[in-house]
Structure 1
Amino acid sequence: MAEASYKYIILGGGVAAGYAAREFVKLGLKSGELAIISKEAVAPYERPALSKAYLFPEGAARLPGFHVCVGSGGERQLPEWYFEKGIELILSTEVVKADLSSKTLTSAEGKTFKYEVLIIATGATVIKLSDFGVQGADAKGIHYLREIDEADALIAALKSKKEGSAVVVGGGYIGLELAAVLRINKYKVKMVYPEPWCMPRLFTADIASFYEGYYKGKGVEIVKGTVATGFSTDEEGHVKIVKLKDGRELEADIVIVGVGARPLTRLFKDQLEEEKGGIKTDAFFKTSIPDVYAVGDVATFPMKIYGDVRRVEHVDHARKSAAQAVQAIKAKEEGKSIEAYDYLPFFYSRSFDLSWQFYGDNTGEAIIFGDNNPATPKAKFGSYWIKDGKIVGVFLENGTPEENKAIAKVALVQPVVESTEQLIKEGLAFASKI
């Protein structure tokens, strides 16, 4: 079979790949040096759009509108952009074997790709209910959302039955964002999750109570403390009933599952050191093998600000880790050095007319400030996390750009808290003083 050789290969065609390509171009790249290998059929795009504007019934986002790097205010990198920069964009190609000792990747079709430097940007894949042997989990009409093909399938399903019934399994990012967009599509929506409140990995009970109340006000029925244990179908194999552990049965024309994702590291099993479910890297995203880097969802890296190691699944880190790795690669070639990756955790979400941002670490004692009554129009509230007498994390709903910058600075500076009562009283005003 054919073999191709490149100086650099980026394996994976998601957000990180697009931002890494931009950084290579910025720092100097010769035509033919770089290839991006992606199993998707389209050039890298801003994945967060899929659970938001891509599914809107009117004025929906469509490619080429959200190719990277528009998510950070950069130039839109259309397929022609890669061609003009001399970057080989190898799409619809799944790599099934990686031999890091011989610096060779092999595709499902048997084509081999040789590299000098490899950037692993394979991201994560959704956890499916069929992975746990849930009865009927392979029925038609059960959807997952990670790639654009899956979003297109969901759009087709929404159009095939106007204003139907949907069950969203999971109360995290995907669950909340998709429940909102389904309501915008005039679907009847029920959300099911086992935890005592939504987004438990980040939200406190006080924060979650606002969103659950807001969603109920928008017509979303929330079913907590139970899980989907099976599905019944019609004679054509299409899902009709979601069976819950507590014995309830929910009717559904569409089921959307968002119960998490796992990093795609299997190609590198027993070849690279792993830690906390990801590929272990240093502060420059170098792995345990020279000339192999890992970025985005798959990387477990030193979190300098907290003195530990973490794996972060978020678009912001995907963008920034990709740039850091490319800078490290180019610096090494030129005999230079760069600063270690110093990342401040940042998460955000938008649904309905809500928009929140979080910076820092959600450890320690959490206090809430502002008005978190879901009935209040344009409610503004937030939370500070206090650990060892210092603020380590800040959350804010409905902040202005200036206010969001202020809370980011607080999480970075970690100011000492003299009085919790005073902090609650001052609320957002405290952040503006830092």
Structure 2
Amino acid sequence: MAAILRKYVVVGGGVGGGYAAREFVKLGLQPGELTIFSGEQAAPYERPALSKAYMFPDSPARLPGFHVCVGSGGEKQLPEWYAEKGIELKLDTKIVKADVENKTVTTDKGDVYQYGTLLVATGSTFLNLEDFKTPGADAKGIFYLRDVRDADKLVEAIKSRKGDEALVVGGGYIGLELAACLTVNNIKVTMVFPDPCFMPRLFTPELASFYEGYYEGKGVNIIKGTSVTAFEKDADGYVTKAILKDGRSLDSSLVVVGIGAKPLLTPFKGLLEEDKGGFKVDSTFKTSVPDVYAIGDVATFPMKMYGESRRVEHVDHARKSAMQAVQAIKAAEKGEVVDDYDYLPFFYSRSFDLSWQFYGDNVGETVIWGREGAGAPGSKFGAYWVKDNKVMGAFLEGGSPDENKLIAKVAREQPTVDTKEDLVSAGLGFASKI
């Protein structure tokens, strides 16, 4: 079978793939030049919606409402958009083989595509308890969340269990957001995780204590410092109970697991140089192989601000790295270069009536301000991370768009502080003076 020729091929139809398509079009894509392969059945969409508004009991988000690029205020790219731009969007199609020497990729349907330039945007998938050989982890009634199909299954389970109890395994982003969604759906939630507090990779125990108290106030039962070691199931294969490492057991017919993610490197693993769990790229997201770029979760890139290479799993980076790579690809065709990727780390979450944002690097000593009044109507609190008398990171709960821009500026400019007491007393006022 003769290979199908394409100037550009994007493997991955998530956020990165959708934003790459927009950038190609913006920079003068011609019809028939680009094919995007996606294992999903829907055109690229803003994935964060799945653990937030998709689960709401009233006016839930549904496609086509959150196709890319609405997450950055751009045009909504419906399936027709790709057709109108002459982009071949191959949904429900996986790449099972890659040959970077001959510049071909092979689909699970047996089609072979030859590319001029390849963009790897395969993203991540969830960590599965079955991967850890947890007994009973294959039971029905245990859910994970990665795509719309997962979300639809979970929504149906929620509808059939109003007033029931659910177990959420994990105390990170997904665990916290889904625990909130289940609670607002009138489901009693117990959370179990081995860490000493919510989101220990970012939160200090003092920061976490506010969110833990807020969740408990909403009726969420929190069990810290232990993990699920096994599940029991009934004769029909449905989960009935979780056995914890500390010996306790919890009855539950609905389990939601959010214990982290892993980058999807196949089928390119072994073909591209790797570093820190991802494909090693330069500041334009070019890999070790000519004409092959990697973006988003699978890319380990030079973090200009901090002088080291990192791999970042976040939608903001997926969007921006896609744009950077496409700009670099198009510039190289004209013998030009683009500026180095200068990314400011950004993380955020929304659950219940809470909304926080974090910018920068959470290194050094954490200085928390406004915590005493946290929880009062209209109250705000936050934190700064200080290293060598410089503010390296900034966090704000309940900020307005303009206030969030202020803390982003602080993290970007890394101002010097005289004393930590000054930060505590100034609070958000410190950011407003930068």
With the shorter chain as reference, the TM-score category is: over 0.9
Alignment partner, residue 88 of structure 1 = 88
**Partner AA of 1:278 in structure 2:** G
Cα distance change, pair 299–50 in 1 and its aligned pair in 2 (3 A): same
Q: Verify: 1:359 aligned to 2:359, yes or no.
A: yes
Structure 2 match to 1:65:
65
CA shift, 1:111, in A, is: 1.4
Aligned equivalents of 2:261 and 2:379: distance in 1? 31
For the pair 1:207 / 2:207, whether they are aligned, the reply is yes
Contact 1:207 1:372 in 2 (8 A): no
Contact between 1:371 and 1:379, CA under 8 Å: does it hold in 2? Answer: no
Quick check: 1:190–1:220 contact (8 Å CA) kept in 2? yes
Aligned amino acid, residue 143 of structure 1: F
Q: Is the 8 A contact 1:372 1:379 kept in 2?
A: no
> 1:230 aligns to what?
230
CA contact (8 A) 2:161 2:187 kept: no
Greater mean alpha carbon deviation, residues 341-350 or residues 261-270: 261-270
Give the secondary-structure state (helix, strand or coil) at the position aligned to 1:268.
coil
Instruction: Indicate conservation of the 8 Å contact 1:214/1:374, yes or no.
Output: no
Q: What per-residue deviation string (whole Å, max 9, x for no partner) do you get for residues 194-237 of structure 1?
A: 00001011111111001000000011100000000000112211
Q: What is the match of residue 346 of structure 1?
A: 346
Structure 2 equivalent of residue 112 of structure 1: 112
CA contact (8 A) 2:374 2:381 kept: no
- 1:92-148 per-residue CA deviation (whole Å, 9 max, x = no partner) reads 001111111111111122111111100000000111001011000010010000111
SS across alignment from 1:391: strand
Q: Residue 102 of structure 1 aligns to a residue in which SS?
A: coil
How far residue 375 of structure 1 moved from its aligned partner, in angstroms, is 4.4
Alpha-carbon distance between aligned partners in 2 of 1:148 and 1:31, rounded to the nearest angstrom: 29
> SS where residue 83 of structure 2 aligns?
helix
How far apart in 2 are the matches of 1:32 and 1:163?
A: 52
| Distance of aligned partners of 1:373 and 1:208 in 2 relative to their CA distance in 1, 3 Å threshold | farther
Check the 8 A contact 1:211/1:374 in 2, yes or no: no
Q: Is the 8 A contact 2:82 2:88 kept in 1?
A: yes
Offset from partner CA, 1:61-116 (integer Å, 9 cap, x none): 00000000000100000000000000000000011111111111111221111111
Deviating more after overlay: 179-188 vs 259-268:
259-268
Cα shift readout 1:394-421 (whole Å, capped 9, x = no counterpart): 0000001111000000000000011111
Distance 1:162 1:217 in 2: 20
Q: CA separation in 2, counterparts of 1:397 and 1:244?
A: 33
In the superposition, relative to structure 1, how do residues 372 and 186 fare at CA in structure 2: closer, same or farther (>3 Å)? farther
Cα deviation, residue 377, structure 1: 3.1
Q: Please state if 1:392 is matched with 2:392.
A: yes
Alpha-carbon distance in 1 for matches of 2:293, 2:269: 15
* Residues 1:239 and 2:239 aligned together: yes
Q: Distance in 1 between matches of 2:90 and 2:2?
A: 14
Deviation at 1:372, TM superposition (A): 5.2
Q: CA deviation at 1:379?
A: 3.4
TM-score (structure 2 length as normaliser) = 0.99
Match of 1:188 in 2: 188
- C-alpha distance in 2 between matches for 1:396 and 1:224: 25
Which residue of structure 1 lines up, in the alignment, with residue 278 of structure 2? 278
Which amino acid letter does the alignment assign opposite residue 240 of structure 2?
K
C-alpha separation in 1, matches of 2:97 and 2:125: 17
TM-score when scaled to structure 1?
0.99
Q: Deviations over 1:243-263 (max 9, x none)?
A: 100011111121011111110
Q: Name the CA distance, whole Å, in 1 between partners of 2:161 and 2:318.
A: 36
Flag as ranges the 4+ runs of structure 1 deviating above 6 A: none
| Structure-2 separation of matches of 1:6 and 1:366 | 50
- Cross-structure match for 1:101: 101
1:128 lines up with 2:128 in the alignment: yes
Distance 1:170 1:90, change over 3 A: same
| 1:410 aligned onto 2:410 | yes
Matched, 1:260 2:260: yes
Over aligned residues, Cα RMSD in angstroms?
Answer: 1.0
CA contact (8 A) 1:213 1:374 kept: no
CA–CA distance in 1 between the matches of 2:226 and 2:57? 31
| Partner residue, 2:316 | 316
* SS of match in other structure, 1:177: helix
Listed as ranges, the matches of 1:298-309 within 5 Å are 298-309=298-309
Contact residue 374 and residue 380 of structure 2 kept, 8 A: no
Cα displacement (A) at 1:163? 2.0
Other structure's SS at 1:179 match: helix
Which residue does the alignment assign to 1:156? 156
User: How much does 1:2 deviate?
Assistant: 6.5
Measure the CA separation in 2 of the matches of 1:258 and 1:383: 26
- Residue identity over aligned pairs, in percent, reads 64
The corresponding residue for 1:376 is 376
1:162–1:187 Cα contact (<8 Å) kept: yes
**Partner amino acid, structure 2, of 1:344:** L
* Matched length: 434
Q: Please report how far the alpha carbon of residue 373 of structure 1 lies from its aligned counterpart in structure 2 after TM superposition.
A: 5.5
**Mean Cα deviation higher: 65-74 or 227-236:** 227-236
CA distance in 1 between partners of 2:71 and 2:183 (Å): 25
Q: Distance in 2 between matches of 1:337 and 1:107?
A: 32
Q: Secondary structure at the match of 2:399?
A: coil
More displaced stretch, 156-165 vs 36-45: 156-165
**What residue ranges of structure 2 are gaps of 5+ in the alignment?**
none
Structure 1 unaligned segments of length 5 or more: list them. none
